[in-house]
Structure 1
């Protein structure tokens, strides 16, 4: 199979988001999920303070099949567009950014399915099953490769061995998509394994200062038996999957900004103490405080608007709004998908950081008390923003706009060779 054919198979009608003939309205989707989001918000601060992983909250969402948002209505899902998904994720992230983040790998997986694969996976996902991620390693594997291996057995099935880190969401999920190397093959492969299978050990050892409850820790695979049907060999140069990955993170950031300014406003309304250098008014009447609230509110609103616009453009790029899904030119599809989310990635993190830092301008020294945990907004936003660093996104956008340099599809991380050789 040529590489172009391999790429094209990833962009068929199985994953065209939204079912225009039968999809639910955004209002109807919120009628389903807003009560669950409200339950998720309860106890979110305590969970962060005590490092209580949100297994229960994740289960509530799965009971309502939140993971089936982008599965077409005709296949048992909600048929939601990416714009609708982004809007829901923003509100969920405002309730608990950890829980919203967990769905990143799952939604990206759905975006990668071919028609044949969707016949297998749509029924599972429509039934409430979810897919986690195990791609990144701490070993010295070269950029674009994996130290985790898939070795074929005499019977034609496979054996999976290796250790992954940053396994976001896998500890909560039914399935894990594992990036691995087949000896003798240059391209990376993916194994789909049940998280409960023998030989799999999931460890909550993520030591980041933010997004501490996402299960982003170590996963060991020791002699895991993998059926041949569960091994995916994919060309990773052009895909909409990466754009969906990034859109989820952007929605999480916008949700954090919403939660931060909402909390700041709540505290300003109830604040009675002031400074002798201020205007002498209580905070809710102080013109300087009110001006700052307005500035931060505008930045949070701008972050939300930018994310939703990126989602609309992504929907249009893959044909939801009736446009050509560009299946005959995979790189053109990649460019059309990557550009709007890259634009958003360049500006949204800074807006969100301004909001999560600026809320302290509204309050006094008591705002830094550990009991309030207001620092969680900045910590979580800063952690999310480290995915696909902004400086690289800005350069890639500039290079594409000026020189027409194709944008990247699937991302990779690893050791860079001394020669400076890059993954193409």
Structure 2
């Protein structure tokens, strides 16, 4: 539809107006302030949405809107989002990936991540707390043990959530674990303490990385969070992502429900990392939303400006454009990496080692690019709004704090080197196994 067609507020011949031999110029004041803008930006990046995705989005977007309404206040007042997790669970967000025949929504991996970006735009804490659950579901779908798969599929379909207890706070040597399983009266039990237990405070079950007396390396035990021997603490004191339940969990004689089979080429780590990238993309969107609304509403200006309203100030508009471009790029990179992983997981011609490498490299490349894009965008937010945007009551800083916190994970600083080492030397990405203390400068990685 051209601008000259009937139904628009202006009947302008843009070809004539752009003719250099035409003595008149287009007066921008002719444009009506009330003229609505047609929104041409897609809600989600990547290939166009199809009916399957729109079906899923129609279920969850009303919930996302409810979640977004209180996100700023929950962050400022440190209110854990139990109610909001419940709203998502009512619609079985955790069963997205399960086949419809198994009681799930039948979503593709890429559908899950598009929805996760939208959820993280509403509240980045809630997006992150599903991290372990999303990765666990992928592991369950790949299980060859039919009985074990059926048990966990049924639990996930019923709305049960799985948390994470992999990392120890300190005192364990690199490649070893102080959290152990042992047999008591013929049953395996877990004893130990974990930290960075994202999502576990909201979960029904948690995966626990343990040392096993009869098996080498790290083993993954699943235990109920409802057992009396489990103590979950909300003691995460980072300056960002404070509502994710990323605190301590203590296990005292807790019975093991299941052990997950160990797989040296499990792509779980890539899924874990891509969840964080999706959360970053959502943070960027939320920051852009706040920037857009604040610039549109702003009436105060500066004598050092150009004398026009802020929403027409050229430098402010340029800044908003830069932020929009950075967020567009972050979205596209995240979804590009997810589609690469989705393709690798379904490719029958890749062996397990190749599949692991493809997934790890996709996640590492994405992390290398997405982190600086989102940190830049959430910092520029303040440049466009001035000192008043730093007030605690605005809580605009939550976007930067949350993005900066996520950008430290697993640690991001190593990712570009890993990719470069593969590109130049063909060195396979290593599995992130057990974090711990070095006993010597040249200690190997062990597990």
Q: Taking structure 1 as the reference length, what is the TM-score of the superposition? A: 0.90
Residue 97 of structure 1, CA deviation: 0.3
Selected match of 1:199 from 229, 246, 253: 229
For 1:31, the equivalent position in structure 2 comes to 58
1:146-205, Cα deviation, whole Å (9 max, x unpaired): 1011001242x1121111111110000111111111236431112211111121111111
Residues 388-407 of structure 1 correspond to what in structure 2 (within 5 A)?
A: 388-407=410-429
Q: CA RMSD in A?
A: 1.5
For 1:271, the equivalent position in structure 2 comes to 298
Q: Which has the higher contact order (CA 8 A, sep 6+)?
A: 1
1:19-60, Cα deviation, whole Å (9 max, x unpaired): xxxx97111110010001001111111111111000000011
Distance 1:24 1:125, change over 3 A: farther
Residue 124 of structure 1, CA deviation: 0.8
> Is 1:234 paired with 2:256?
no
Is the partner of 1:25 in helix, strand or coil? helix
For 1:286, the equivalent position in structure 2 comes to 313
- Within 1, Cα distance between the matches of 2:260 and 2:339? 29
> Is 1:368 paired with 2:414?
no
Distance 1:412 1:164, change over 3 A: same
- Within 2, Cα distance between the matches of 1:244 and 1:24? 25
| Structure number with larger C-alpha Rg | 2
Selected match of 1:115 from 127, 131, 144: 144
- Within 2, Cα distance between the matches of 1:142 and 1:325? 38
- Within 1, Cα distance between the matches of 2:280 and 2:72? 17
Q: Taking structure 2 as the reference length, what is the TM-score of the superposition? A: 0.85
Is the partner of 1:421 in helix, strand or coil? coil
- Within 2, Cα distance between the matches of 1:104 and 1:377? 19
> Is 1:324 paired with 2:348?
yes
For 1:384, the equivalent position in structure 2 comes to 406
Distance 1:122 1:164, change over 3 A: same
For 2:376, the equivalent position in structure 1 comes to 354
> 1:131 touches 1:170 (CA, 8 Å); kept in 2?
yes
For 1:136, the equivalent position in structure 2 comes to 167
Which aligned runs of 4 or more in structure 1 are off by greater than 6 angstroms? none
Residues 76-91 of structure 1 correspond to what in structure 2 (within 5 A)?
A: 76-91=103-118
For 1:186, the equivalent position in structure 2 comes to 216
Residue 336 of structure 1, CA deviation: 1.3
> 2:94 touches 2:156 (CA, 8 Å); kept in 1?
yes
Is the partner of 2:130 in helix, strand or coil? helix
> 1:179 touches 1:188 (CA, 8 Å); kept in 2?
yes
* Unpaired runs of at least 5, structure 2: 1-49
Residue 73 of structure 1, CA deviation: 2.3
Residue 72 of structure 1, CA deviation: 2.1
Selected match of 1:308 from 329, 335, 341: 335
